[in-house]
């Protein structure tokens, strides 16, 4: 029948377009990732130790704060101060920080009890810490990040030798299950394609990068861009800090921290869903249209081949199999790069569905509730949308 032939032709054409697309993506992604240097390959020798202020914002982090701060205190770097900002915690975070500060005068603890109007809690805490910092370099890092003792010396060496004003470093995420390892791999692929971190150093490119686990920035650059003030209401403050640096035409670099810096990212699927609620819609600039378009693209080009291979035949089935092979090859390459088990790639289709669910849930929750709830505080959508870069 004519309509059957038309649909057969349509699905073959779609598969062919999809194949061209995923091959192009594979080439862009894998060639791009090769240009990101591993920090572990950078020597630790420095002619001088410029003063570095490490700033950590913590709210209800009693589970992770001690090992994180202890790893910072073990850094092999002489000219160092650590400013830990306890942002209105209701658990033992503040007392743990005070105990650690008693044993090492390099650690300064700031206790915040109020949040000014028009600020997200974390962003205000980071700005408060930066206002007290005396370092030539500022390192913003999360309260659950653990670093190897040589990390900071290598990072400063990289930044000085490459003459960058801002260095972002991607950490190693340690997850408790094969499915969550698969989630990390898919997330890295999506993050890399969206932000193109390997182009961040190019002044002619609009690509930018920022990582909450490790944003190292010159103090003069941070002051010149007015710090976190232009990012008061940005839940994605880490990547937006990178965008702010780029908009002001300061130099930017990126490195891989695999083997040197790691974070126990999420311990369950529920934590993943809730944890990304604040970012998934923000990264789309709170646009329903952009969210819809992104979802359609993911469904057509990332999920459809896994289903279509069972319902197509002949050349079309072969093309879909080839698409799946390319997608899994990307997964194999990324998993080997970020030190997660290769077997995790078998969960890719399920993880893509989970990411779509997270994105749509975040959009619906934000729109219906009129804002986001983040760590015990409600932030109105109107205020969030007004803070654009």
User: pLDDT digit string (tens) for 270-285?
Assistant: 999 988 888 889 988 8
Tokens of 277: 């609620």
Are the beta carbons of 74 and 126 closer than 8 angstroms?
A: no
The size of the chain, in residues, is 389
Place of tokens 């604040």: 278
| C-alpha to C-alpha distance for 214 and 142, rounded to whole angstroms | 8
Q: Look at residues 160, 182, 164, 193 and name the one whose alpha carbon lies nearest to residue 28.
A: 193
Share above pLDDT 90 across residues of the chain, in percent, rounded to a whole number: 70
| C-alpha to C-alpha distance for 79 and 81, rounded to whole angstroms | 7
Q: Look at residues 323, 312, 304, 322 and name the one whose alpha carbon lies nearest to residue 12.
A: 312
Are the beta carbons of 88 and 121 closer than 8 angstroms?
A: yes
What are the distances in angstroms from CA 319 to CA 204, 252, 324? 37, 40, 9
Q: Is 286 helix (H, G, I), strand (E, B) or coil?
A: coil
The pLDDT of residue 336 is: 87
pLDDT higher than threshold 90 for residue 145:
yes
The pLDDT of residue 142 is: 96
DSSP 113-153: ----TT--HHHHHHHHHHHH---SEEEEEETT-EE-TTHHH
The pLDDT of residue 185 is: 92
| C-alpha to C-alpha distance for 98 and 1, rounded to whole angstroms | 77
pLDDT higher than threshold 60 for residue 3:
no
The pLDDT of residue 46 is: 80
The pLDDT of residue 256 is: 94
| C-alpha to C-alpha distance for 386 and 121, rounded to whole angstroms | 17
Alpha helices in the chain (DSSP H): 2-33, 65-73, 93-103, 121-132, 151-161, 178-195, 219-224, 237-247, 269-275, 277-280, 288-298, 304-311, 314-338, 348-369, 381-386
What are the distances in angstroms from CA 38 to CA 34, 158, 226, 282? 10, 10, 30, 29
pLDDT higher than threshold 80 for residue 7:
no
| Exposure on the CB side of residue 134, measured as CA atoms within 13 A | 7
The pLDDT of residue 74 is: 97
Q: Is 257 helix (H, G, I), strand (E, B) or coil?
A: coil
Q: Work out the average pLDDT over 193-206.
A: 92
The pLDDT of residue 5 is: 57
pLDDT, tens digit, 9 for 90 and up, residues 215-247:
999 999 999 999 999 999 999 999 999 999 999
pTM of the model: 0.92
| C-alpha to C-alpha distance for 253 and 200, rounded to whole angstroms | 6
Bridging pattern class, strands 137-142 and 172-173: unpaired
pLDDT, tens digit, 9 for 90 and up, residues 73-131:
999 999 999 999 999 999 999 999 999 999 899 999 999 999 999 999 999 999 999 99
Q: Work out the average pLDDT over 193-213.
A: 92
Instruction: State CA 75 to chain mean position distance.
Output: 23
Tokens of 349: 């289709």
Q: Apex CA 149: angle with CA 145 and CA 154, to 5°?
A: 95
Buried b (16+ CB within 10 A) or exposed e, 38-47: ebbebeeebe
Place of tokens 């569905």: 353
The greatest distance separating any two alpha carbons of the chain, rounded to the nearest whole angstrom, comes to 82
The pLDDT of residue 314 is: 84
Q: How confident is the model at residue 6 (pLDDT cuts 50, 70, 90)?
A: low
Residue 116 burial by CB count (10 A; 0-12/13-18/19+): exposed, middle or buried?
A: exposed
If you ran DSSP here, which 8-state letter would residue 389 be given? -
Are the beta carbons of 264 and 64 closer than 8 angstroms?
A: yes
pLDDT, tens digit, 9 for 90 and up, residues 291-338:
999 999 888 888 888 988 888 788 888 999 999 999 999 999 899 888
Q: Work out the average pLDDT over 32-38.
A: 90
The pLDDT of residue 310 is: 84
The pLDDT of residue 267 is: 84
pLDDT, tens digit, 9 for 90 and up, residues 289-299:
999 999 998 88
pLDDT higher than threshold 80 for residue 287:
yes
pLDDT higher than threshold 60 for residue 1:
no
Instruction: State CA 334 to chain mean position distance.
Output: 15
């Amino acid at each position: 029948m004519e309509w059957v032939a038309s649909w057969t032709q349509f699905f073959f054409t779609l598969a062919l377009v999809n194949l061209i697309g995923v091959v192009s993506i594979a080439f862009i992604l894998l060639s791009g990732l090769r240009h990101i240097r591993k920090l572990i390959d950078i020597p630790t020798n420095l002619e001088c130790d410029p003063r570095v202020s490490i700033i950590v914002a913590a709210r209800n982090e009693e589970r992770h704060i001690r090992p994180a701060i202890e790893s910072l205190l073990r850094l092999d770097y002489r000219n160092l101060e650590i400013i830990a900002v306890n942002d209105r915690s209701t658990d033992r975070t503040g007392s743990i920080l005070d105990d650690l500060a008693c044993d090492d005068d390099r650690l300064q603890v700031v206790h915040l009890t109020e949040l000014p109007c028009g600020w997200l809690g974390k962003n205000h805490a980071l700005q408060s810490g930066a206002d007290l910092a005396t370092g030539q370099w500022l390192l913003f890092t999360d309260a659950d990040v653990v670093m190897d003792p040589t990390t900071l010396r290598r990072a400063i060496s990289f930044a000085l030798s490459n003459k960058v004003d801002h260095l972002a470093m991607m950490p190693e995420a340690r997850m408790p299950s094969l499915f969550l390892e698969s989630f990390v791999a898919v997330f890295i692929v999506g993050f890399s394609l969206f932000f193109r971190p390997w182009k961040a150093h190019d002044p002619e490119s609009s690509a930018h990068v920022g990582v909450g686990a490790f944003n190292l920035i010159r103090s003069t650059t941070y002051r010149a861009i007015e710090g976190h003030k232009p990012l008061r209401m940005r839940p994605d403050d880490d990547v937006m800090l990178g965008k702010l640096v780029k908009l002001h035409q300061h130099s930017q670099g990126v490195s891989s921290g695999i083997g040197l810096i790691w974070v126990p990212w999420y311990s369950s699927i529920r934590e993943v869903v809730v944890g990304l609620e604040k970012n998934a819609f923000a990264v789309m600039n709170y646009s329903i249209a952009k969210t819809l378009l992104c979802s359609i693209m993911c469904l057509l080009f990332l999920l459809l081949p896994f289903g279509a291979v069972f319902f197509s035949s002949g050349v079309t089935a072969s093309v879909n199999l080839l698409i799946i092979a390319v997608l899994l090859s990307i997964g194999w390459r990324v998993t080997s790069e970020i030190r997660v088990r290769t077997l995790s790639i078998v969960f890719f289709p399920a993880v893509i569905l989970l990411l779509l669910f997270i994105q749509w849930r975040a959009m619906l929750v934000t729109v219906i509730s009129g804002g986001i709830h983040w760590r015990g505080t409600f932030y109105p959508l109107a205020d969030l949308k007004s803070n654009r870069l």
